[in-house]
Structure 1
Amino acid sequence: MGLSSGDKVPDEKTVWSFREKLTNNQTIEKTFVLFRDVLNAKGLILNEGKMVDATFATAPIQRNTREENKQIKDGDGAALWNNKPHKKRHKDIDARWTQKGGQNYYGYKNHTKVDAKSKFIDCYKVTDASVHDSQPLEDLLDENDKGQPLYGDSAYTGANQDDVIENAKMINQVCERGYRNHPLTEEQKASNREKSSVRSRVEHVFGFMEQSMHGIKVWSALV
């Protein structure tokens, strides 16, 4: 890019603002696809297996009244604060609350499909945080995945998910889940350990986002 260590570079919020413009005019999705296609053409996405998982993107907690929150949940949040445009610019009516592992999260969820060997993100879908990990699975898979194994944790088990994977003509390598009065057998546990040795690589991707990119979060700012 022609930059040296002594040159001035845009700060974090400037980069965020630019990315928001790309997102709002849907350029970011086109850019992602172009970048992915270049990686594919150069053989850097190996297509020998895919991993799916989801992670939270936290957003600033909104201080709304009970009535305002109800209106937002009812899908009519856009009608709020129209007489207070400055306040409205700071309001997020799409983020939602959810709980996982006894901890509360507010914001969004980033669902990703990652190439198992290269660990490049192949496809992604963003939802509010309350959407279950497995719900966007069908949107993440495409015809190029045919014949490849698909690795995921036990959140992706169930008849519906099995059908999605079968329809995509992928090899189901999702970890099995035990249930009350139907615990996993030793054979199933051993199979899960083998699958997890590949599936766990997706955590490296999220770990990079959290550590090297200083977290996955959503900013609220004046536009």
Structure 2
Amino acid sequence: MGYDNEAMRRFAGIERGDNRIPDETTILDFRHLLERHGLTKGIFADVKTHLADKGITLLSGTLVDATIIDAPSSTKNKAGARDPEKSSTKKGNDWFFGMKAHVSVDADSRVTHSLDTSTAKLHDSQVWDDLLHGEETSVWADKGYVSAERDAAFTEEGKVWGIMRKAPKGGQLHPVHAQINRVMAMMRAKIEHPFRVLKRQFAYVKTHYRGLAKNRAQFFTVFAFGNLFLVRPRLIA
């Protein structure tokens, strides 16, 4: 995500060959400063405040999901081992090695309002409470987040528990629940928008650093920029 990225160069207003481009040491020192003081989380929060000032509020429904970010599995390093803070997990019939970005997205604006990270093997449902802002009128997620306890706690009048229905163990999903899932799937599709920006616009398909802390710091910056990208038509209107 440096000045070799066309989108980032345009955002910063610099071009290749521009003598204003800082050298790699300066960029590295600046990144370490951001990481050491937790400033990227502040950038993420400031962007949300800016959007709220522009009338883009985050108080409607919340969509919750996680995406796997692959990490290099090479052992060609000084330690002769894979990154100890990353892990393997199976999705479908495929195995992945890396970490997860857990996000919650406003159902109306598609803006990411909360973010967390973990090693890849942590089950998505283990990261939940920190992803809700507490004023949701509806919550939407896939069946991996099914929880009778959470369902019971979200039964106030006017609230919607939009968690995909799960078939009983050894049984089949009831046709009514299958229809409900199809409706929920259309709503949940909105959460793919921030992930698409992360992986397509910003080409973030693999972790850039060893360990979780450095990548976590970068995620806050990338998702902050992603929020601005997603609502750019409303900001310049």
> Does TM-score exceed 0.5, indicating one fold?
yes
Listed as ranges, the gaps of 5+ residues in structure 2 are 1-10, 215-237
Residue 92 of structure 1: aligned partner = 83
Does residue 175 of the first structure (1) align with residue 185 of the second (2)? no
In the TM superposition, 1:1-223 aligns within 5 A as 3=13, 8=18, 18-19=30-31, 21-63=33-75, 87=78, 92-143=83-134, 145-146=135-136, 148-162=137-151, 165=154, 171-220=160-209
C-alpha separation between the residues in 2 aligned to 1:2 and 1:138? 35
TM-score w.r.t. structure 2 length? Answer: 0.70
Residue 218 of structure 2: aligned partner = none
Listed as ranges, the gaps of 5+ residues in structure 1 are 65-85
Q: Secondary structure at the match of 2:50?
A: helix
Q: Cα deviation per residue 1:46-68 (whole Å; 9 max; x = unaligned)?
A: 5221101000111121529xxxx
Amino acid at match of 2:200: Q
* Aligned partners of 1:48 and 1:117 also within 8 Å: yes
CA RMSD of aligned residues (A): 3.4
1:178 CA displacement: 1.2
Q: Cα deviation per residue 1:64-83 (whole Å; 9 max; x = unaligned)?
A: 9xxxxxxxxxxxxxxxxxxx
C-alpha separation between the residues in 2 aligned to 1:16 and 1:211? 24
Amino acid at match of 2:171: H
Distance 1:138 1:198, change over 3 A: same
TM-score w.r.t. structure 1 length? Answer: 0.74
* Aligned partners of 1:55 and 1:206 also within 8 Å: yes
* Aligned partners of 1:56 and 1:129 also within 8 Å: yes
C-alpha separation between the residues in 1 aligned to 2:29 and 2:172? 50
1:12 CA displacement: 10
**Which is further off, 212-221 or 126-135?**
212-221
Q: How many residues align?
A: 198
Q: Cα deviation per residue 1:112-149 (whole Å; 9 max; x = unaligned)?
A: 00011111110010000011111111111123x24x11
Residue 81 of structure 1: aligned partner = none
* Aligned partners of 2:145 and 2:163 also within 8 Å: yes
